[in-house]
Amino acid sequence: MGVLIRLSALLFFGILSIPLKGQELKTVDHIYDPKVETVLLFPQVSANQLDPSLTLNPPIISLDEQVPLQLEFDDLTATYRSFRARLVHCNADWKRSILNDIEFTYEYNDTPVTEYQNSINTKIPYYHYRFTLPRVKLPGNYLLVVYDERNRNNIIFTRRFSTYQNRVTVSAEARFSTDPSRQFSDQQIDLSISYKGYQVISPQDDFKVVIRQNYRDDREIRGLRPTNVQSFDQTLEYRLIDLSNTMSGGNEFRFFDTRTVLSRANYIDRIDRLADRNVVYVQADQPRNQGPYIQSDDFNGLFVIDHRETSNGATNADYIETVFTLKVPEIAGWDIYVNGVFNFWQLNDRNRMSFDALLGAYRATILLKQGVYNYDYIGQITASPPKVDEHFIEGSFSSTENDYEVFVYHRPPASRADQLIAYRKIGVNKRK
């Protein structure tokens, strides 16, 4: 009995951690189980759980507001499985912190995922799971780990999220790059931090600033140093002449609509309705790296799940084999990928395209749930080390509409981990 009590205490205080098949747990967005699809994590800002637009909000919430984070995902084994969820606290660099569970959680940090539904009238059956994340005590970075209840070593997937408390004030502006040679392709983010009333020992060294484009962890600026420290006004200015606060603007994302398979929607070329599945062919695409910028509306790489006939994408939306086609001659020494947040912006076998000599184009087939998707094409040089170029196919324009986020981290005196003390979201070239 005493051994069981001590084991429970160790689990509660975070001394026993979740292993990952004997390896270090990677603190990234990743799905380890190939039968799990469409992992969504978003703030539940509305009581209407069927509102598909909720998923367009990033998993970032204020601790001063009573807005929970909602997790949804599908299990395509079509048999019920028991899952559990656990939170891992991370520092500003997304490395695991040394905090014990009791320092950042209010409850026992190991919760069963109990809410689920069967898919309805779908050719590919699945179980749809829903889970509301427990509240946390501290502002900062967290990793949600979902694992198999029967096998603690079997991690199903991991998702990042952040919580913040605005203890300092951030002013930010995004505009064209001040470098004449990059003013038509890049965007620049100037910002300042006012820390009046906030205790900090060395403001020019202690604040860690991160700028992120379109909610993408692979599109970040880190390591910025203030260019001006106004000690009397307690203000830091970041207006860098070395262009380290500049990012390429990219291009507006391509999109397609598969909310219905009864007829062709936007940018759908053909629908094959087979007995056991549906196959949708997205209209063939051309490179956009040459020519002028063309304005269009997008979700900045995100997607929404929806089903036009029932307006209930959670359980009525089917999984569809989605075929992408890029009309371009074979490019020696390059791999081409079709990408978006549906693949967590990762380049792997799932979204790698193959060249079809008879078709004279690159093609990829990806299983995706019905909805409206943003995507683009990314090139990667196969030489060692490989080099990723997102603008090789798509081009880059400073006129592109983008979202930017500014994160300010600080480790307060006597604290053992970084805290997110300010969060600001801004847009550039907004048209609505």
430 pLDDT tier (thresholds 50, 70, 90): very high
75 pLDDT tier (thresholds 50, 70, 90): very high
Q: Each residue of 293-316: pLDDT tens digit?
A: 999 999 999 999 999 999 999 999
C-alpha distance from residue 43 to each of 48, 54, 69, 161 (Å): 12, 7, 4, 10
50 pLDDT tier (thresholds 50, 70, 90): confident
Beta bridge partners of 254: 375
24 pLDDT tier (thresholds 50, 70, 90): low
pLDDT at 247 over 70: yes
127 pLDDT tier (thresholds 50, 70, 90): very high
Contact criterion met (CB below 8 Å) for 168 and 154: no
pLDDT of residue 4: 41
Query: For 351, phi and psi rounded to 5 degrees?
Result: -115, 10
What average pLDDT score do residues 244-260 get? 97
Average pLDDT score over the chain: 93
pLDDT at 68 over 60: yes
18 pLDDT tier (thresholds 50, 70, 90): low
Q: Where, residue-wise, is CATH 2.60.40.10 in the chain?
A: 2-164, 169-249+400-428
Calpha distance 394→295 (Å, rounded) = 14
DSSP for 34-69 reads TTEEEEEEEE--SS-TT-GGGGGS-SEEETTS---E
Higher-scoring residue by pLDDT: 89, 19:
89
DSSP H/E element including 2: helix 2-12
pLDDT at 359 over 80: yes
pLDDT at 120 over 60: yes
Say which residue the tokens 């970040």 belong to. Answer: 220
Contacts of 23 (CB under 8 A, 6+ apart): none
Q: Is the pTM here over 0.85, yes or no?
A: yes
Calpha distance 283→268 (Å, rounded) = 5
Calpha distance 362→284 (Å, rounded) = 10
Q: Which amino acid is at 308?
A: R
**320 by DSSP, 3-state: which?**
strand
Locate 332 and state its tokens: 């020696």
pLDDT at 3 over 60: no
Contacts of 151 (CB under 8 A, 6+ apart): none
Say which residue the tokens 């598909």 belong to. Answer: 52
Is domain 2-164 classified as CATH 2.60.40.10?
yes
Q: Each residue of 371-405: pLDDT tens digit?
A: 999 999 999 999 888 899 999 999 999 999 999 99
Q: What superfamily does domain 169-249+400-428 belong to in CATH?
A: Immunoglobulins (2.60.40.10)
Eight-state DSSP code of residue 296: -
pLDDT at 14 over 50: no
Contact criterion met (CB below 8 Å) for 171 and 186: no
Say which residue the tokens 């994160």 belong to. Answer: 407
Calpha distance 13→40 (Å, rounded) = 28
Locate 236 and state its tokens: 């830091």
156 pLDDT tier (thresholds 50, 70, 90): very high
